[in-house]
């Protein structure tokens, strides 16, 4: 099947193999006589689907035994509240620190501010100069050495990949080096999970909406260190209390069964591709090819400081913005979909998640070159 290349930021492209398998199994899963959508979440068929999804996810990310893997609902936006509701009251601390790297971290910060004393550990909301070049707000990240974390914060939150801005934290900070060895790090990895290994020894929890790198919208992958569970504030809804969700193997209420099933197919597809190590190498190669082309071009530009450029979401601008409409129309006609940038940033954005092969990136670069040849200089 010949499909156009879909560069959407999320929900985003899924591997064709996964879609075809889901279609083939739609009405009768493995001779069960029912669709996965029709199964009891407590029955033997669905239990197998769920257990395999968790086991495969654990294998892909080498999740240590002292972490619970929870399949939750509400998306990453709900976690912006669920995280403080569960963690901020730990040991009566009532305070947490946030790194402001862009739109999504700012949203997390604003939500958390409803539940306690929330402070900014570092922010990129002003301009800066890196290697003699000026970068605008949200186009760079402060080095870890400049982060200020309160040693008695209940946690430090960061967004590992800013989907809108196109900024990625390539390495998780060492909390001991930040002078806060006991502060667990919480990472929103909605848009880069499964594209690189996760060093769980540096993290207390990770959450990610599935709809970019892991499957359909509707399930939130949540990894919580066990000692952080069981400290929810009294006002935390029962269905969002990690202790309840973990205690019921993510079936405290009816889980998003179909979304978990498709995510499970994606996990098996990832394992067949060589796992996260293969995705890491592919992400590096795809992003390098696109950034190299953009950097060498006279028509296009990426405005993010190179050390923090996202491998998943590549925003770029046409220097002559009057060409934007023609660019998007011609791209779509050439089979390259969803390249329009987020309205908060403007310009264009190409998302290069796991299911986007190098072939798709080459098709994009060929189009960029062709468009530049016709409209540039």
Residues at the binding site for pyridoxal 5'-phosphate are 76-77, 104, 163, 188, 211, 253-254
8 binds ligand PLP (CB under 6 A): no
CB of 188 to ligand PLP, least distance (A): 5
Q: Is 213 in the site for ligand PLP (CB under 6 A)?
A: no
**Should residue 68 be labelled a site residue for ligand PLP when binding is judged by CB under 6 A?**
no
Catalytic residue among 188, 241, 286, 340: 188
Task: Give dist(CA 174, CA 185) in Å, integer.
Answer: 9
188 flagged as catalytic: yes
State in angstroms the smallest separation of the CB of 159 from ligand PLP. Answer: 5
Confirm if 116 and 84 have CB atoms less than 8 A apart: yes
- Among positive and negative, which fits the CA dihedral 187, 191, 194, 196? negative
What is the DSSP track for 205-229? EEEEESTTTTSSTT-EEEEEEGGGS
Q: Which of 159, 276, 287, 345 binds ligand PLP (CB under 6 A)?
A: 159
What character string, x for contact with ligand PLP (CB under 6 A) and - otherwise, covers 163-192? x------------------------x-xx-
Q: Does 75 bind ligand PLP (CB under 6 A)?
A: yes
CB atoms within 10 A of CB 360: 21
10 binds ligand PLP (CB under 6 A): yes
Tally of residues, the chain: 377
Q: Which is nearer to ligand PLP, 94 or 170 (CB)?
A: 170
Residues ≥6 apart with Cβ < 8 Å to 326: 375
Closest approach, Cβ 161 to ligand PLP, in A, equals 6
Residue with smaller CB distance to ligand PLP, 13 or 190 = 190
* Comparison of 169 and 190: residue with beta carbon closer to ligand PLP: 190
Give the residue numbers of the binding site for L-glutamate.
42
Query: Residue 73 interacts with ligand PLP (CB under 6 A)?
Result: no
Choose, from 5, 29, 104, 147, the residue flagged as catalytic. 104
SS3 content of the chain, % helix, strand, coil (to 5): 40, 20, 45
374 vs 377: CA distance, rounded Å? 9
Residue 253 to residue 261: CA distance in whole angstroms: 17
CA atoms within 13 A on the CB side of 208: 28
Beta carbon nearer to ligand PLP, 75 or 341: 75
Figure out which of the listed residues 77, 128, 244, 273 binds ligand PLP, where binding follows CB under 6 A.
77
- Shortest reach from residue 360's CB to ligand PLP, in Å: 20
Residue 84 is classified by DSSP as H
Coil, helix or strand for 82?
helix
Q: Which stretch binds ligand PLP (CB under 6 A): 75-83, 198-206, 266-274, 294-302?
A: 75-83
Q: Where are the alpha helices (DSSP H) in 62-92?
A: 75-87
Residue 356 C-beta: closest distance to ligand PLP, Å: 16
The sign of the dihedral angle between the CA atoms of 230, 232, 234, 240 is negative
In the residue annotation, 104 being an active-site residue is answered as: yes
What residue is closest to ligand PLP based on CB?
75
Residues from 89 through 108 that contact ligand PLP (CB under 6 A): 104
Residues in contact with ligand PLP, total (CB under 6 A)? Answer: 11
- With b for 16 or more beta-carbon neighbours within 10 A and e for fewer, the 54-90 pattern comes to bebbbebbebeeebbbbbbbbbbebbbbbbbbbbbbb
* 195 near ligand PLP, rule: CB under 6 A: no
Sort 268 into a burial class: Cβ within 10 Å, 0-12 / 13-18 / 19+: middle
> What is the β-pairing status of strands 300-301 and 336-337?
unpaired
The label of the residue with tokens 């086991």 reads 55
Q: How far is the CB of 209 from ligand PLP (least distance, A)?
A: 3
The packing angle between helices 358-375 and 275-296, to 10°, is: 10
Residues with a catalytic annotation lie at 104, 188, 212
Which positions lie near ligand PLP, rule CB under 6 A?
A: 10, 75-77, 104, 159, 163, 188, 190-191, 209
């Amino acid at each position: 099947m010949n499909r156009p290349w879909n560069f959407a930021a999320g929900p985003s492209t899924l591997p064709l193999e996964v879609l075809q398998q889901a279609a083939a199994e739609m009405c009768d899963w493995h001779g069960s006589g029912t669709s996965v959508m029709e199964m009891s979440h407590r029955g033997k068929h669905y239990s197998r689907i769920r257990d395999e999804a968790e086991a495969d996810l654990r294998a892909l990310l080498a999740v240590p035994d002292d972490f619970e893997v929870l399949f939750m609902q509400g998306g990453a936006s709900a976690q912006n509240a669920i995280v403080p509701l569960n963690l901020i009251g730990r040991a009566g601390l009532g305070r947490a620190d946030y790194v402001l790297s862009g739109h999504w971290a700012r949203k997390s910060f604003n939500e958390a501010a409803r539940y306690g004393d929330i402070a900014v550990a570092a922010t990129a909301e002003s301009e800066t100069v890196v290697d003699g070049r000026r970068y605008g707000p949200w186009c760079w990240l402060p080095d870890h050495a400049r982060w200020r974390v309160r040693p008695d914060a209940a946690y430090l939150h960061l967004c590992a990949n800013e989907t809108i801005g196109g900024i990625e934290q390539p390495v998780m900070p060492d909390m001991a080096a930040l002078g806060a060895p006991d502060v667990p790090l919480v990472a929103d990895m909605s848009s880069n999970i499964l594209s690189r290994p996760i060093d769980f020894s540096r993290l207390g929890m990770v959450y990610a909406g599935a709809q970019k790198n892991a499957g359909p919208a509707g399930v939130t992958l949540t990894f919580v260190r066990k000692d952080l569970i069981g400290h929810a504030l009294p006002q935390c809804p029962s269905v969002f209390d990690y202790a309840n969700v973990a205690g019921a193997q993510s079936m405290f209420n009816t889980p998003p069964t179909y979304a978990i099933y498709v995510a499970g197919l994606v996990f098996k597809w990832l394992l067949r591709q060589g796992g996260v190590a293969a995705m890491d190498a592919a992400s590096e190669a795809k992003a390098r090819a696109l950034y190299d082309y953009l950097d060498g071009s006279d028509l296009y530009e990426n405005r993010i400081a190179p050390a923090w450029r996202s491998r998943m979401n590549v925003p770029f601008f046409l220097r002559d913005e009057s060409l934007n409409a023609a660019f998007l129309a011609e791209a779509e006609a050439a089979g390259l979909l969803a390249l329009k940038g987020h309205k908060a940033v403007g310009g264009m954005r190409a998302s290069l998640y796991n299911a986007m092969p190098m072939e798709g990136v080459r098709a994009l670069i060929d189009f960029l070159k062709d468009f530049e040849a016709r409209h540039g200089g």
